[in-house]
Structure 1
Amino acid sequence: MTAVERMPAATSVPGMLARGRELVDPPLRQALDRLDDHSRLVAAYHLGWCDEHGRPANGSSGKAIRSGLTLLVGEAVGGRAEPAVPGGVAVELVHNFSLIHDDLMDRDTKRRHRRTVWAIWGDATAVLVGDALACLADEVLAESNTPYAAPAGHALAVATRKLIRGQVLDVAFERRDDVTLAECLDMAAGKTGALLGVAAELGAILSGADPVTCDAFRTYGWELGLAFQLVDDLLGIWGTPETTGKPVFSDLFAHKKTLPVVWSLQYGGAPGRDLAAWFANPSGDASEAAELVERAGGREWALAEAEERVRNAGKALDAAGIAPANRDQLDQLAQFVAERQL
């Protein structure tokens, strides 16, 4: 399908994201064609386009929230999705670079109900293919036929650096027993908030928005990213394998200091102290830790905080000055992020 000037109408968030994917997938495939044969196979497998032998497949490549956000913002600013397509491709490439590396660092063997890249091809391939996707993102923006390529590339580079910083903190926290909620929120702001922030910002930049409008959309995406991470952390404890592609309690089995866990440790009273004892000497029964997080109030806090971040995202849009119909789409997207099913 060739790019069109407006994203086709959709009545639901999944429909909006699917329409966005129709615009992003063709140039995304073209970008992967630049890779060597082996790296292209691995990347296409990760994206669900083929099996590990290169045979076509219909695996999931995710909901495409980030690229869909870029196109929705582009349309909200300029009335057309087409100028924002290179930004949508670039954020998809950076996002998937980070996922391949995350799976390796976490030693996760499954993503989207399939074996992960490192689990099939080894650590070195996962590192190299992830790096290649990050480089492709830079190429796509640099070669886009737009006067806004340079500021868009700079914004993506800054966000990628912040994303990596967030991942560095995440890894460091696994070795500490004194992580504070403020530190954990700072980590999430980088690891998840930065990329969703730039996804929205790129849609504005590539559509010629002024700096104040670009800042407003970046803030919207950043707040949306924190809501996303809060819900993701809840799914990492209570999400079903059908929803997450991972075992229930997966983050607790991995002893991850996620946001509801850290809140419970810091503010959860007696259940929080019991949870700290569990982390100090974890048993094989992660359901015990999940119950302690819930009793400490971590689950309730995370749900309420996600809703607060959605409200903050909406406030950020007030400065963007967009049409009511576009505002409604972005509000729906924010609520969709906060209401993913456990």
Structure 2
Amino acid sequence: MTPVVPCALPAARELVEPVLRAAVDRLDPVTRRVAAYHFGWADPQGRPADGGGKALRPALVVLSSKAAGAEPDLPAAAAVELVHAFSLLHDDIMDGDRTRRHRPAAWALFGRAEAILAGDALLSLAGELLAVAGTPGHAAVARSLGAATRRLIAGQAADLAFERRGEVGLEECLRMSSDKTGALLSCACAAGALAAGAGDGLTRALAAFGEEAGLAFQLVDDLLGIWGSPEITGKPVLSDLRARKKTLPVVAALTGGTPAGARLAGLLARPGPLPERDLREAAGLVEDAGGRAWAEAEAKHRLDVAHRRLADAGLPAAVHAEFLDVAAFITARDH
């Protein structure tokens, strides 16, 4: 059963998309075409299209504003989404992923150099939006977003490095995942409150909620990267194993001290591309070694911790419920 999309997501998308489009329209024609395609606003020929992501991070920024008793802060919401879009453009190139959201990835269609430049342009637009807004609150958001971006880059660098290493510890893999995914979600959950000049107690509680929810999200994403169907993920089946990525279920299996984990290590160490039968065997070994069960349990644990961190924020009941709805949606197993 497909989970119900929380009302906060389409509402945030409707609010923030005009700001994003206006920012992207300032780019040169070549870069603008790549960016518009990546956002789902245009087809490969540049004709209007009705697509795009879930607007998860803008929704969290809007809810963060509501948590502080303020109107939605659209520059902050758009800036966070621009950084997310930048990271996806570059991530697809680094991982060699040729599809995103059931379409060719931007780099596979327009070229690596063009996609890199589009990502760079979106990152620069994020800073520009906050600078133009010009309030002390937006300066605080800019600092937070800059720190989150550095963590995101550090997490991606570690992710790439892990692919070349024979052994990776579970704690360092958790840290990588927290940097790669949790940092930007944490920033989004606090950005609206920061822009509104809210106190440290509220912003820290919201950031802590986002950090834990982000790690739960990454754990679920890692599970889908092995066992998710292409119709749901928009990527080929067993894609993470095909790339030999040291995702959390894989590292949990490899470090569990089981015979299945040892067999998995030997299989992943084989040179050359793994045939489909070996990829299917590897998925079975991850499960036999306890990696799947551990990741499922850890995702639930992180979500429980996120709930406790949100309780510390002392939010109005309606806003509290909306944050929980978004967290439940992004950690559902079937999307």
> TM range, normalised to the smaller chain?
over 0.9
Alignment partner of 1:176 out of 165, 186, 199? 165
Per the alignment, residue 125 of structure 2 pairs with 136
- Please give the alpha-carbon distance, in whole angstroms, between the structure 1 residues aligned to 2:220 and 2:169: 19
Counting aligned pairs with the same residue, the percent is 53
Per the alignment, residue 320 of structure 1 pairs with 313
2:105 corresponds to 1:112: no
1:78 Cα shift? 1.2
Letter aligned with residue 85 of structure 1: L
Q: Is the contact between residue 19 and residue 78 of structure 2 (CA under 8 Å) also seen in structure 1?
A: yes
- Please give the alpha-carbon distance, in whole angstroms, between the structure 1 residues aligned to 2:58 and 2:257: 37
Letter aligned with residue 312 of structure 2: A
1:266 Cα shift? 0.3
Q: How does 1:170-209 map to 2 (within 5 A)?
A: 170-209=159-198
- Please give the alpha-carbon distance, in whole angstroms, between the structure 2 residues aligned to 1:212 and 1:12: 31
2:193 corresponds to 1:165: no
Q: Cα gap change, 1:13/1:80 in structure 2, threshold over 3 Å: closer, same or farther? A: farther
Give 4+ residue runs of structure 1 displaced > 4 Å after superposition: none
1:217 Cα shift? 0.8
Alignment partner of 1:30 out of 2, 9, 22? 22
- Please give the alpha-carbon distance, in whole angstroms, between the structure 2 residues aligned to 1:247 and 1:268: 30
- Please give the alpha-carbon distance, in whole angstroms, between the structure 1 residues aligned to 2:188 and 2:333: 20
Q: Is the contact between residue 253 and residue 261 of structure 2 (CA under 8 Å) also seen in structure 1?
A: yes
1:340 Cα shift? 3.3
- CA RMSD in angstroms comes to 1.5
- Please give the alpha-carbon distance, in whole angstroms, between the structure 1 residues aligned to 2:4 and 2:109: 36
- Please give the alpha-carbon distance, in whole angstroms, between the structure 1 residues aligned to 2:158 and 2:105: 23
Q: Bigger CA drift: 247-256 or 331-340?
A: 331-340
- Please give the alpha-carbon distance, in whole angstroms, between the structure 1 residues aligned to 2:78 and 2:289: 41
Letter aligned with residue 56 of structure 2: I
2:300 corresponds to 1:307: yes
Per the alignment, residue 142 of structure 2 pairs with 153
Q: Is the contact between residue 212 and residue 302 of structure 2 (CA under 8 Å) also seen in structure 1?
A: yes
- Please give the alpha-carbon distance, in whole angstroms, between the structure 2 residues aligned to 1:29 and 1:311: 36
Aligned length in residues: 329
Per the alignment, residue 38 of structure 2 pairs with 46
Q: Is the contact between residue 97 and residue 133 of structure 1 (CA under 8 Å) also seen in structure 2?
A: yes
1:79 Cα shift? 4.7
Could you report, residue by residue, the CA deviation over 1:5-58 in whole angstroms, capped at 9, with x for unpaired residues?
Answer: xxxxxx954322011100010101001011001111100001111112111112
Q: Is the contact between residue 6 and residue 326 of structure 2 (CA under 8 Å) also seen in structure 1?
A: no
Structure 1 residue runs without a partner (length 5+): 1-10
Letter aligned with residue 73 of structure 1: S
DSSP-derived class of the 1:78 partner: coil
Q: Is the contact between residue 78 and residue 208 of structure 1 (CA under 8 Å) also seen in structure 2?
A: no
1:138 Cα shift? 0.4
Q: Which has the higher relative contact order, 1 or 2, with Cα contacts under 8 A spaced 6 or more apart? A: 2
Q: Bigger CA drift: 24-33 or 279-288?
A: 279-288
- Please give the alpha-carbon distance, in whole angstroms, between the structure 2 residues aligned to 1:109 and 1:170: 18
TM-score (norm 1): 0.93
- Please give the alpha-carbon distance, in whole angstroms, between the structure 2 residues aligned to 1:38 and 1:116: 16
Alignment partner of 2:48 out of 46, 56, 59? 56
- Please give the alpha-carbon distance, in whole angstroms, between the structure 1 residues aligned to 2:17 and 2:25: 12
Letter aligned with residue 321 of structure 1: G
Structure 2 residue runs without a partner (length 5+): none
DSSP-derived class of the 2:6 partner: helix
DSSP-derived class of the 1:20 partner: helix
- Please give the alpha-carbon distance, in whole angstroms, between the structure 2 residues aligned to 1:69 and 1:244: 22
Per the alignment, residue 4 of structure 1 pairs with none
- Please give the alpha-carbon distance, in whole angstroms, between the structure 2 residues aligned to 1:112 and 1:13: 17
DSSP-derived class of the 1:267 partner: coil
